[in-house]
Structure 1
Amino acid sequence: MSQETVPSSQPKGLLQQMEELMAALNADLSQLDADFQQSAERPATPTPADGSDHA
């Protein structure tokens, strides 16, 4: 009636979970980067941010 699993498999399972989470996070960040790249190609309102308009 032991609920104990093989101790050596536990860290391996945690490492695998972390790798899967990191892969999912990397995919999400890559998608966000792609979205930002697309939004950067089409500026919504071009305004002079450096104040070069004022002489």
Structure 2
Amino acid sequence: MAQDAAMLRAEHRLSPPDALIVGTGIACQVGHLVSNDLDWGRKLARLEGRIKVCLLQDHLPL
């Protein structure tokens, strides 16, 4: 898990905690990560086939 998180951190410019969250999600084969972090959608676009980012703001009323 740590090696996968380090790879994610390097390839996608994630912070260490974010890389652990994303790496854990991929290892557990989750389909979506729910977040308020707009950068995740951009940074993780290349992982679209493995995991999708679901932004809360897209699903909550203004």
TM-score range, shorter-chain basis?
under 0.3
Whichever of the two has the greater Rg, that structure is 1
- What TM-score, normalized by structure 1, do the two folds share? 0.27
Structure with greater proportional strand content: 2
